[in-house]
Structure 1
Amino acid sequence: MAAEKILVVEDERIVARDIEKRLKKLGYVVPASVASAEAAIEKVAEVRPDLVLMDIRLKGPMDGIEAAEHIRTEYETPVIYLTAYADEATLQRAKATEPFGYIVKPFDERDLHVAIEVALRRQLSETAIRVALEKEKELSELKSRFWSMAAHEIRNPMTSILGCAQMLERESNLPEERRREFLYMIQQSVRSMDQLLNDLLEIGRVEGGSLKFEPAPLDLEQFCQRLVEEIQFSAGAHQRIVFHYQGDCERAYLDQKLLRHTLTNLLSNAIKYSLGSSLVYLDLVCTDQQVTLQVRDTGIGIPLEAQRHLFEPFQRASNVGKVPGTGLGLTMVKRCVDLQGGQIAVESEVGAGTTFIVQLPQHEPVNSQLQRTVSG
């Protein structure tokens, strides 16, 4: 571990040299020793020390207290004051800057060491607490935004259902075709809400830790072929999924459940955002160390700005128009890929289509690892 850097601010040169010598003997690094408050502020910005030993009484327009206040505010660097004597008013000013300690001159080596170690440990504790509080605040804001968006997404189909139901109730002489339109809108809104709730529950399982990575032997070629047939059946005859594979994909060792979540979302999106009767491609490449899955379409594409936030909850591109969706599918995909220790990338151009590339490491069964260890 690198030794802590301590900046010495002392305008009496002999005292400064003595402090430097003691610090180096104790194992600390002294990147510089300066004699003025202004020089101290410049040096802190330059060398970013872990601690500053600051003489309260410094010659010049700015004293050590003013310099310490600036250093703590701008750089959050802890300061220990060095003082031989100070009146009550000066001590009160020093307290207001929240120093990490005082050392009264003359001092011995033990006092110096104890004061420095206490200050450094306090700084570590305060930094850890500050980071934890910032993370808690970020998490709280994320949860608030998440549920606000969820409420918004649920409210839209509920409003549609209510409006259609009221029209059906008020207009008793509606033409049959118009009545069917309202019923169809109600059904679509219910399906939308059901999909949203399912997505929320799945993401909740991931975030709560109940969705775990459980790899098992898998004939990946057969798995993909069957999944393509299922999704193809739902998509209908106007869109077709083309499946290609390469390598030995019959003896993979992956999590089938996480893989199903991943491919179902990617293939469904590819179909949903494709144009007319365009093709969707699923390419599978298997090696001993890695499985690569590529889902490609020639649909509407994703704008560059949307790609930066693609895997965040409720994020939908500006060009999706009236195509239904919750903005949670790709969030789920990313979580599933992360759980498997994999990576996901996207290549897309508006109007030219989108390609998602998922790379998953091959995980060997425990008994295979043991067998290899024994035989080796």
Structure 2
Amino acid sequence: MRIHRLAVPLLATGILAALSAPTSATTATAARTDRWTGTWASAVQRPMGATWQGKNWSLDGFANSSLRQVVRISAGGSQLRVRLSNRYGTGPLRLTGATVAKAGPGASTVPGTTRNLTFRHLASVAVPAGQDAVSDATPLRTTALERLTITLYFATPTGPATFHESAAATTYRASGEHRTDPSAGAFRDESHSSYYLTGVDVAGTSTRSAVVAFGDSITDGVSSTRNADNRYPDQLAERVAASGRRLSVVNAGLSGNRLLADSECCGVSALHRFRHDVLSQPGVRTVIVSQGLNDLGFNPDVTAAQLIAGHRQLITAAHRYGVRIVGGTITPMKGSMLDSARGELVRQQVNQWIRTSGEYDAVVDFAAVLADPADPTALRSSYDAGDALHPNDAGLAALAAAIDISSL
């Protein structure tokens, strides 16, 4: 939810068509009917410089570097595949090789679990600018809530890197080729962002479906404890796993993201990325939407009617693909950098529509969960990460607990 350097209003003709059009690689219908289910995901954005969280590696990219990233999957299987993106690259992304292994402490891996990833049966792949790549099926038996390590090696310069700025997890870098190295010793550099990695899918178990959490920095988990997997979708995944339901939960949150407008630093709008980040997720069944807070904070002229129209476009697109859609109310912002009297009025109007219109298939009242009982326009102090806007780990746990699993 940072100040945007560029914002382009979007409520334009043709957005709904873009939301509903199939991707070039796969349609949402195919994503729901093939044998793969998304078990971890990340939305990506264009390269940019340092943020309030510090420097990242996206503008410089990588050369003769091994990049090690740790993810916690929400559901297991007997096979997996990894999805990578060069969506914002300036030229072909030449990946020399990649591995997946079960994660040990920090940048280490569990000896004996490393598997080489291939792409059309080759160790290396060149991903054209603007496109994605999916690895071949790799045999590795996994279980729900298990941590995996993906290591990418780039022998030649990559150019600027497609990435996810607020990963809430540490990415490690080593000089040279260390794809199969189980130790952490060579991985001396650390970053708060993730790079190129957009998804992990599983197969080889009973049919299951994916739930996509779609939102801004609150969904992204920017205020959660790093490397603790305490984002609200993580904690929802724990509830789902404990319940025994055949569902995975993936996180398509993007810090600073708006419902209606693109931004150079915070990604394309929710309307523009809904098709790729939600409808094309393998096995998608349900999406939980939490969007609008940044529109209120950074567009002083936005109206309730415009935000409601945006939400309706998401609902229409989801239903066109047979995806169930759950609406989350917009959370409190009093005393934060987004706060304004007019914005608060619009927030209340939009929340009233989400709660009472019946247009979403189900509703989760995130605003009520986080609100101070003495002042519903403010964040409860015990849930405040320190900026009167973002919930801490306890607040994120409360959001996860508020979701009726049977509604998914």
TM-score tier, shorter chain, comes to under 0.3
TM-score, L = length of structure 2: 0.24
Question: More strand per residue: 1 or 2?
Answer: 2
Structure number with bigger Rg: 1
Structure showing the higher helix proportion among its residues: 1
The alignment's TM-score, normalised by the length of structure 1, stands at 0.26
